[in-house]
Amino acid sequence: MGKPTGFMEFKRELPPDRPPAERLCDWLEFHEPPNDELLRKQGARCMDCGVPFCHAGIEISGLATGCPLHNLIPEWNDLVYRGLWREALDRLHKTNNFPDFTGRVCPAPCEGSCVLGISEPAVTIKNIECAIIDRGFNEGWVVAEPPACRSGKKVAVVGSGPAGLACAAELNRAGHLVTVFERNDRIGGLLMYGIPNMKLDKRIVQRRIDLMTREGVLFVTNTEVGRNYRAQRLRDFDAVVLCGGATQARDLPIEGRDLKGIHFAMDFLLANTKSLLDSDHQDGKFISARDKDVIVIGGGDTGTDCVGTAMRHGCRNLLQFEILPKPPIERAPDNPWPEWPKIFRIDYGQEEVAAVFGRDPREFCIMTKKFVGDSRGHVKELHTVLIEWVKGNNGWPVPREIPGTGKIYHGQLVLLALGFLGPENDLLDQLGVKKDARSNVKAEYGNFATSVPGTFVAGDMRRGQSLVVWAIKEGRGAARECDRYLMGKTVLPG
């Protein structure tokens, strides 16, 4: 800790975001870059705690507490304070293959468990992380590092999201010949098509992919293993790692669901980003929210990304429905530190709606009962009711409708952002891997081996819908165990 009194001298301060009126006119990232002096002061606030929960990487009450990657956060905070950026980059890369991704899209469980956060606002860990890696690229410190020798072993990685990319990077580092299969036309999985450009610029993703290509990883696009690439062909490889994600969207099977204008969130986001990258939206091959009343059903990150995207299209009005209650402003008694703080937050999308329409778009404890269409079979109304949460027979909370609270909302575009149920089954059934009670691929955390010898699994396909940082952690762990399987021992840290 370079400055023992830093946390007393300096307050938490983040660089300002671009004003909503400005950023709604483009698809560029909405964060402004911080200056060195601000970063130095924020790094000085880190206390280098004797028990630094920020990199604990454990789960408490089902939520991540601290960084799952066990990032060496106090070390690189101190190095930034002392101006040793190159050394900070080295410490950052020891545990995280892609800080340029997590520094932008991770919800920062590290900050939620920062010890300073018990009594003061937490250290700006995520902001410092992003600044370190961006400087590393800008200074030319991040360069391709192909392995010195090859093992001769061939590994197939199915899926190029954060788990697949992390797994491929580590296996390539160990000297194996890695081929990554991606069914879309671009590499990156949800990093490329699931997270909109204003949150994660696709040039950042492509920069990493280009670097991995120079290091010897082979990427194959437009190839869906199990469909246009037979699953049996994976036997040509010495090992396989499944990193296909949990891509089965949760539906809302109520009356009127088959009406036009009701879409899954990922269909909306994928088409938007693809059209943006292909033609700057000139090809018209996306689901437009322009001049429509938009209702987003779902209150998570994906719902917020739908809000931000619809606002940039120029929607006429926007609401966001959340079935859960509005979170408290401060931690509830049953949500103590160092658990992830389940508190009310205003994300970039809600901030943009408030700037344009003068209100937060969210409606809490609301349930959609049915969709109603017009004469053309297109959705025009949502019939809703308010609910309250009560204890059910099994002790778990269940929703109960509140009589007399029915209401009709107008909407010509409805986006379902209700989460995901698990991985798609076609490939898994062809491979014959066993699944668990939640329909995910069955494999123990720590060894990542499926029921099929030589086949491993990582990320959302194993654990269910989760965070990018967990996907990277699992990809690294699966690479370690795959290397052990191939070589009898491993040099990878996992």
Whole-angstrom distance, CA of residue 410 vs CA of residue 397: 30
In a domain, 278, yes or no: yes
Compute CA distances 147 → 220, 225, 273, whole Å: 21, 27, 34
CATH of the domain at 319: 3.50.50.60
Question: Do the Cβ atoms of 468 and 474 come closer than 8 Å?
Answer: no
User: Would strands 407-410 and 413-416 be described as parallel, antiparallel, or unpaired?
Assistant: unpaired
Same domain as 432, residue 407? no
> For 380-438, what is each residue's pLDDT tens digit?
999 999 999 999 988 899 999 999 999 999 999 999 999 999 999 999 999 999 999 99
Whole-angstrom distance, CA of residue 282 vs CA of residue 274: 11
Same domain as 199, residue 75? no
Residue type, 352: E
Q: What are the backbone angles phi and psi of residue 160, rounded to the nearest 5°?
A: -120, 30
In a domain, 131, yes or no: yes
Whole-angstrom distance, CA of residue 77 vs CA of residue 81: 6
Same domain as 390, residue 352? yes
Same domain as 195, residue 110? no
CATH of the domain at 114: 1.10.1060.10
Same domain as 434, residue 407? no
In a domain, 144, yes or no: no
Q: In what order do the strands lie in the sheet with 413-416?
A: 262-264, 413-416, 293-297, 317-322, 362-364
In a domain, 149, yes or no: no
How many CB atoms are located within 10 Å of the residue 57 CB? 21
User: Would strands 218-220 and 177-181 be described as parallel, antiparallel, or unpaired?
Assistant: parallel
pTM (predicted TM-score): 0.96
What residues contact residue 490 under an 8 Å CB cut-off, 6+ apart?
174, 480, 481, 483, 484
Q: What are the backbone angles phi and psi of residue 320, rounded to the nearest 5°?
A: -130, 120
> For 427-476, what is each residue's pLDDT tens digit?
999 999 999 999 999 999 999 999 999 999 999 999 999 999 999 999 99
| 228 burial type by CB count under 10 A (0-12 exposed, 13-18 middle, 19+ buried) | exposed
Alpha carbon 378 to its chain centroid, in Å, reads 32
C-alpha dihedral, 91 to 93 to 99 to 100, nearest 10°: 110
Per the rule left: phi > 0, alpha: psi between -120 and 50, beta: everything else, 377 is left
In a domain, 173, yes or no: yes
My answer on whether omega of the bond before 20 falls inside 30° of 0, hence cis, is no
Residue 158: name the closest of 176, 178, 175, 180 by CA.
180
Same domain as 406, residue 366? yes
> For 300-339, what is each residue's pLDDT tens digit?
999 999 999 999 999 999 999 999 999 999 999 999 999 9
How many domains in the chain? 3
Same domain as 131, residue 49? yes
pLDDT by residue for the chain (494 residues), tens only, comes to: 678 899 999 999 999 999 999 999 999 999 998 999 999 999 999 998 888 899 999 888 877 799 999 999 999 999 999 999 999 999 999 999 999 999 999 999 999 999 999 999 999 999 999 999 999 999 999 999 999 999 999 999 999 999 999 999 999 999 999 999 999 999 999 999 999 999 999 999 999 999 999 999 999 999 999 999 999 999 999 999 999 999 999 999 999 999 999 999 999 999 999 999 999 999 999 999 999 999 999 999 999 999 999 999 999 999 999 999 999 999 999 999 999 999 999 999 999 999 999 999 999 999 999 999 999 999 999 999 999 999 998 889 999 999 999 999 999 999 999 999 999 999 999 999 999 999 999 999 999 999 999 999 999 999 999 999 999 999 999 999 999 999 999 999 97
Q: What range defines the domain where residue 230 resides?
A: 154-247+421-487
What residues contact residue 53 under an 8 Å CB cut-off, 6+ apart?
65, 66, 113, 114, 115, 338
Compute CA distances 173 → 154, 209, 212, 216, whole Å: 13, 15, 10, 9
User: Would strands 420-422 and 248-249 be described as parallel, antiparallel, or unpaired?
Assistant: antiparallel
Question: Which residues are paired to 408 by β-bridges?
Answer: 383
Same domain as 183, residue 80? no
Same domain as 285, residue 269? yes
In a domain, 318, yes or no: yes
In a domain, 314, yes or no: yes
Residue type, 486: L
Residue type, 342: K
Point out the domain boundary residue: 106, 138, 170.
Answer: 138
Same domain as 433, residue 383? no
Point out the domain boundary residue: 418, 438, 454.
Answer: 418
* 3-class secondary structure per residue, the chain: CCCCCHHHHCCCCCCCECCHHHHCCCCCCCECCCCHHHHHHHHHCCCCCCCCHHHCCEEECCEEECCCCCCCHHHHHHHHHCCCHHHHHHHHHCCCCCHHHHHHHCCCHHHHCCHHHHCCCCCCHHHHHHHHHHHHHHCCCCCCCCCCCCCCCEEEEECCCHHHHHHHHHHHHCCCEEEEECCCCCCCCHHHHCCCCCCCCHHHHHHHHHHHHHCCCEEECCCCECCCECHHHHHHCCEEEECCCCCEECCCCCECCCCECEEEHHHHHHHHHHHHHHHCCCCCCCCCCCCCEEEEECCCHHHHHHHHHHHHHCCCEEEEEECCCCCCCCCCCCCCCCCCCCCCCCCHHHHHHHHHHCCCCEEECEEEEEEEECCCCEEEEEEEEEEEEEECCCCCEEEEECCCCCEEEECCEEEECCCEEECCCHHHHHHCCCECCCCCECCCCCCCECCCCCEEECCHHHHCCCCHHHHHHHHHHHHHHHHHHHHCCCCCCC
Same domain as 95, residue 70? yes
Point out the domain boundary residue: 138, 166, 189.
Answer: 138
Q: Give the pair of three-digit tokens for residue 391.
A: 């204890």
Same domain as 398, residue 274? yes
Q: Give the pair of three-digit tokens for residue 207.
A: 């920069």
Largest CA distance in the chain: 71
CA-atom Rg of the chain in angstroms: 23
In a domain, 20, yes or no: yes
